[in-house]
Amino acid sequence: MPLAPEVDLSRLAATTPGMVGADLANLVNEAALLAARRNRETVVSADFGDALERIVLGAERKVMMTETDRRRTAYHEAGHALVGMMTPGADRVRKVSIIPRGPSLGITFSSPDVDRFNYSKQELEARIKVAVGGRTAEDVVFGDSTTGAENDIEQLTLIARHMIGRWGMSPKLGLVAVLPRDGAVPFGDDGFSERTHELLDEEVRRTIDEARVDVDALLRRERLRLDSLAEALLERETLDEVDAYAAAGVESPADASAP
């Protein structure tokens, strides 16, 4: 099935760093399928976008939510997204949505402009902040928090532990690989002392806490942008990159992969 002339394959590739040949072939197939189901004779840009989402983010799911739950979800995702837009080192925000997918009530999807090999300390801290953003927005707006941040907390704990325990990013612990590769017994022996694990835990807690404090200040300071982004989500349910940055009143960064 032919592509519509408006499809900009190079732009599409730029938003899918990390995908290899087989992934891209799969993407083209999904897009063709969607176009066929929609009775089109050419595959248009929207088909590619929707196909990409199905693959990366999971299929949308119909769920009966109360208005209270919808509002909370909107602010949760707006929190992730706004922190992602305003934190140096964070990946570009590609899409924000409060349509449930898989186990999630909403999603914020970010990706870098180019394939990444290594991450700097600043970039990792930005990832922690984006993850903290959803939960902190709930705190700022509703004054309490819910169980909905479970996955975020698990993910940011994992990043912080690797920063301190494998990547040597805490002066207190130094360049010591305390944590083993996934699933491996460290060094064929019975590992490190309790005292070292205490140091690790303290540094992890400190790293996460500092991120939380920064994000809390950011979201209070930028409350108007947060409200505006959340309102846009409640109204339109899904925002692509351009609409999301516009709704938040944040200028979209220049594309690092642009020629």
In the complex, minimum distance from the CB of residue 215 to a second copy, in angstroms, rounded to a whole number: 10
Smallest separation, CB 217 to a second copy (Å): 16
191: left (phi over 0), alpha (psi -120 to 50) or beta: left
The identity of residue 2, as a single letter, is P
Distance of CA 243 to the CA centre of its chain: 17
Whole-number minimum distance, CB 74 to a second copy, in Å? 13
Give the Cα separation of 12 and 8 in Å (integer): 6
The residue (of 117 and 254) whose beta carbon lies closer to a second copy is 117
Q: Smaller CB distance to a second copy: residue 154 or 235?
A: 154
- With b meaning 16 or more CB within 10 Å and e meaning fewer, what string describes 220-242? eebeebbebbbebbbeeebbbbe
Q: Which amino acid is at 44?
A: V
Distances (CA, A) of 227 to 86, 219, 247: 15, 10, 9
Q: Which of 77, 125, 203, 222 is catalytic?
A: 77
Can 60 be counted among the known catalytic residues?
Answer: no
Let me know: does 163 contact 210? Beta carbons within 8 Å.
Answer: no
65 vs 224 by CB, closer to a second copy = 65
Q: Residue 220 Cβ, how far from a second copy at the closest point, in Å?
A: 17
Q: Which is nearer to a second copy, 85 or 156 (CB)?
A: 156
Catalytic residues: 77
